[in-house]
Structure 1
Amino acid sequence: MPSLRTLLAVPVSLTLLALAQAATTKLPTSAPAPAAASPSPAPSTDTLLRLLTTQGHAPAAALLTREEPNTGTEPAPVTTHYAQAGQGIARADHFRAGSITKTFIATVVLQLAAEHRLSLDDTVDQHLPGLVRGAGNDGRTMTLRALLTHTSGLYDFTVDTKGVVPLSPLQAVRIALTHPPTDLGRYHYSNTDYVLLGMVIRQVTGRSYATEAERRIIAPLGLTGTSFPGSRTSLPSPHGRAYAADGTDVTELDPRVAGAAGELVSTLADLDRFYAALLGGELLPPRRLREMLDTRTAHGLYGMGLFPQKLSCGITVWGHNGRITGSYVRTAATVDGRRVLTFRVNTTAIADPDLEPALLAAEFCPRTS
C-alpha cells in the first residue's frame, strides 16, 4: 500500500510536470540562449587617478609610470606614462615626499654596513652612547636592525607634535623617551626610529644624513629634482600648491617637522628612477638588498625602508608611501625594479582608502580581455 508521503508526492509531481511543459511551449525552439553577462572591464590607472580628485577629495593628482621591458641581454628603451587630474599639478613639479625619505636613509645605512663601517646588529648605544634612556627605553639592547624594521618599540614623536612642530633630532628623540616602549620586538611604525638612524649616519661618517644621501644616491643617479631642504620652508621651482585637509594652503612648511623620517623633496620622475635603481641592484650589493627586502623581523609587514603589498591579483609590489602636511605620495615597483609607479596628491591624505590599492592593481595586475 502506498505510503502517505508517496500519495502526496504524486499530485505535486504532476503539477511540476505541467508547469515544465507550459514553460516549454512559451519559448520557440529557435530562440537563442540568453547571452552570459560579460564582466565590466577593470578601471584604468587614468580613470582611478580622476577618482582621487572626486571620491578621494584631492584638489589634484598625478602619476608617472616607468617600465624597462625585459628583452634579454640587449638594453631596452624605458617607457613612461604620465597622467594628471584636477588643477595645480604638473609633471616636473617638486613636492614633499614625506616618509619616502626612509628608503633613502635605509639605503645609506645598508651601504655603510656593506662597507663594514657599522653592523645592523650594533646597539644604538654603541653609536649614540647614553642617548636612549628613559621610561623603559634602553639603547643598550636596541639594535640598528630594530630601528630599520620599526621593531624598536620607540614611541612615534609625531603623535605628540601632529607633524607640525619643527624640531631638532635631539628634541624629537627626547619627546619619544617620555613614553614607554610599545610592543618591544613587534612591528610598530615610528618616525623616531629613522630620526635616530639619521643621527647614527652622522656619528659614523662625520657628515649629515642629507650629505651622505646626496653623494651616495642623488648625485650618482642624477636625481636633479631631489633634495634635503633642511630648514628651508619653500619648495624649489617649479612647484604647485599644497593644501591641508581643511583646504588651508600649506605650501610653505618647515621640513624639520619630520627630519630624517620625512624631509625629502622630490619629483615623480626622480622617485621612479630611484626605486628602479634600488630594486635593480644599482645601489646595494645583492646580500644587502636581500636584507632590505627581508620582512621576517617585522613579521611580514616591513623590510628596511621598504614594505611589500600583495595586490588583489596575488602580485606583490615593493615601495613606500609618504605623508606630510599638504602632500601624499606612493611609489610601488616590481621586485626587480623594471616597472615602477609613483602617484601623488597635493593634500595630506586620500579620503577613500580603497583607491590606492585599486590604482596599484590597475597598473601591476595582468589585464584580461
Structure 2
Amino acid sequence: MAIITNVQQVLDSAVAEYGTPGIVTAMQDENGAWTGSAGLSDLEAGRRREPGEQFTIGSGAKAFTAAAMLTLEAEGRLSLTDTVEQWLPGVVRGNGNDGRQITIGQLLTHTSGLGITGLNVEIARKYHTRPGFAAHRYDVWTVEELLKLQMAIPPLYAPGSDFAYSNGGYHLAGAIIEKATGRSYEDEVDRTVVQPLGLTGTYARALDERQFRGPHARVYTRQFIKDGVDPASLTPDNYESLMEGPDSDPVDVTDRTIWGWAAGGVVSTTSDMLRFAKAMITGSLLPPAQHRTMWSTVPTRDWLPNTRYGTGVSQWALADGRTLHIVAGVELGTASFTMGTPDARRLVSVNINCDWNWYPVCSQIADSVFGSPFLPPQ
C-alpha cells in the first residue's frame, strides 16, 4: 500500500509541478495489480485521464520490431547474421553506406554505423516548426521515402564498431521483415507478437492512419524550433537551446499521420505494455536462443546516460547499483516507459500525454516502485 500511495503522489506532482497534462500508470507485483492516473486526457474538454487509453509508444515499437525479427529467425526464415544486402539488394548504397557490410543484428542493436536522422533538415522543417507541422501533419510517408531519408546521410562509424541510435536502421529492419515474409510489417507484428500475447489494445499503426482506433488521450507538444531559427543550423550540441521554452503554448498533435513505422509506430495501453514487457523479460514469447540475443546488450553512446541497449530493449542503471529492464519511447506529444526488475516480478508502465519533463517523472516513478531513482548523469 505504501508503494501505491507513493506512486499516486508522483502522478499528482507530475501534473502540479512538472506541467504534464495527464499521466496514467499500471503496476503489478507479487501483491497484485493496480492502475492510477492524474490530470487530463483532453485539456479543452476537461476529460480526466483513464486507465486503458491507447497511446503511441514511440521507440518502444523497436522492441516489437525486434521480437518479430527474432521470431522469424526462430522460424528459420532468416538469420541476424544475414547482411542487409542479402534482403534489400542495392538499397543501402551511397554516401558511404554499404549494406554488404551491415548485418540485421547490427540494425537491431544500433551498431550498424548508420547516421542519426533525428536532426534531418526536412524533418525539422516539417514537424518541428509550427507552420511546418500545420502544413504537413497529414503527410503520408512511404517506406521507400523513409529508407531514402537514411541513405541521404553518411554513416558515423564502421559497422559493428560503435553505437549510434538510428531510426533508419529499424526502418530497414521493417523492410526486411516485409521482404522475408511477403506480408506487411503491421501484419507480421500482429502475427508474431500481438496475437500470441493477447494484446487487445495494441497494433502497429499504418503509415496512412490519421487517428487512434480506440479510446485515447489527446497529446501535446512544445517541441518546436524558435521563430527565425534555420533548421539547417541544428546540431546535437545546440538544438536544445534553439527550441521553444517551457512557457510556450502546447499544440494538440493527436490527429496526424505517424512516420515512425517500424521505429516508432506501435500503439498500446499500459496494461498491454506490462504483458509485453513481462514476456520480453522472462522469455515466454521467444525461444531461449532468441531471448538471450534480445538481452545481449551493448554500451550506448550519445543516447541516454547509464544505459545499455539490446535488440529494441534497454537496461537502465539505478542510483543504488541495480538495473531495470526497460521498453521506452518518446514520440511527438507523448512519452511511454515500461520498467521491470530482471526477474519481472515487479513491473510498472507509465504514459504521459506530452513530450516534456518525462525524464524526472519516470525517475521518480522508478524511485517509488523500485526504491531508487535512475543513476543521474555524470
> In the TM superposition, what whole-angstrom CA distance separates every residue of 1:322-359 from its partner, at most 9, and x where no partner exists?
111111111111223232111011112326x3332232
Does residue 260 (structure 1) correspond to residue 262 (structure 2)? The answer is yes
- Read off the aligned partner of 1:113 and give its amino acid letter: E
Does residue 91 (structure 1) correspond to residue 51 (structure 2)? The answer is yes
- Read off the aligned partner of 1:272 and give its amino acid letter: L
- Read off the aligned partner of 2:168 and give its amino acid letter: T
Q: 1:295 corresponds to which residue?
A: 297
Match of 2:214 among 237, 243, 246: 237
Does residue 179 (structure 1) correspond to residue 185 (structure 2)? The answer is no
Match of 2:360 among 344, 354, 358: 354
Match runs of 1:58-207 below 5 Å = 58-67=20-29, 69=30, 79-88=32-41, 89-160=49-120, 161-162=123-124, 164=127, 166-184=140-158, 185-207=161-183
What is the distance in 2 between the residues matched to 1:265 and 1:237?
10
Q: 1:73 corresponds to which residue?
A: none
What is the distance in 2 between the residues matched to 1:232 and 1:166?
9
Q: 1:331 corresponds to which residue?
A: 338
- Read off the aligned partner of 1:365 and give its amino acid letter: G
- Read off the aligned partner of 1:138 and give its amino acid letter: D
- 8 A contact 1:229–1:264 mirrored in 2: yes
For residues 283 and 349 of structure 1, do their structure 2 counterparts lie closer, same or farther at Cα, with a shift above 3 Å needed?
same
> In the TM superposition, what whole-angstrom CA distance separates every residue of 1:7-54 from its partner, at most 9, and x where no partner exists?
xxxxxxxxxxxxxxxxxxxxxxxxxxxxxxxxxx9x922222222223
Match of 1:318 among 310, 322, 325: 325
- 8 A contact 2:80–2:104 mirrored in 1: yes
What is the distance in 1 between the residues matched to 2:13 and 2:99?
45
TM-aligned CA deviation for residue 259 of structure 1:
1.0
176-185 vs 214-223, greater mean Cα deviation: 176-185
- 8 A contact 1:151–1:298 mirrored in 2: no
Q: 1:286 corresponds to which residue?
A: 288
- Read off the aligned partner of 1:304 and give its amino acid letter: T
- 8 A contact 2:337–2:351 mirrored in 1: yes
Q: Secondary structure at the match of 2:116?
A: coil
- TM-score calculated relative to the size of structure 1: 0.80
Q: Secondary structure at the match of 2:215?
A: coil
> In the TM superposition, what whole-angstrom CA distance separates every residue of 1:253-283 from its partner, at most 9, and x where no partner exists?
202x211111111111111111112222221
What is the distance in 2 between the residues matched to 1:123 and 1:158?
24
> In the TM superposition, what whole-angstrom CA distance separates every residue of 1:284-332 from its partner, at most 9, and x where no partner exists?
1112111111114768721111000111222211122111111111111
Q: 1:250 corresponds to which residue?
A: 253
Q: 2:316 corresponds to which residue?
A: 309
Q: Secondary structure at the match of 1:106?
A: helix
Segments of 5+ residues of structure 2 without an aligned counterpart are 42-48, 128-138, 223-248, 302-306, 374-378
Q: 2:135 corresponds to which residue?
A: none
What is the distance in 2 between the residues matched to 1:98 and 1:361?
23
For residues 205 and 310 of structure 1, do their structure 2 counterparts lie closer, same or farther at Cα, with a shift above 3 Å needed?
same
- 8 A contact 1:234–1:253 mirrored in 2: yes
What is the distance in 2 between the residues matched to 1:307 and 1:104?
13
What is the distance in 1 between the residues matched to 2:212 and 2:11?
24
What is the distance in 1 between the residues matched to 2:300 and 2:108?
10
- Read off the aligned partner of 1:338 and give its amino acid letter: R
TM-aligned CA deviation for residue 195 of structure 1:
0.5
TM-aligned CA deviation for residue 55 of structure 1:
3.3
> In the TM superposition, what whole-angstrom CA distance separates every residue of 1:202-245 from its partner, at most 9, and x where no partner exists?
11111122111101211121111111221211112312211112
Does residue 228 (structure 1) correspond to residue 216 (structure 2)? The answer is no
For residues 237 and 115 of structure 1, do their structure 2 counterparts lie closer, same or farther at Cα, with a shift above 3 Å needed?
closer
TM-aligned CA deviation for residue 82 of structure 1:
1.2
RMSD: 2.3
What is the distance in 2 between the residues matched to 1:328 and 1:335?
22
- Read off the aligned partner of 1:348 and give its amino acid letter: D
TM-aligned CA deviation for residue 94 of structure 1:
1.0
- Read off the aligned partner of 1:182 and give its amino acid letter: L
- 8 A contact 2:143–2:171 mirrored in 1: yes
What is the distance in 1 between the residues matched to 2:254 and 2:300?
34
What is the distance in 1 between the residues matched to 2:112 and 2:78?
18
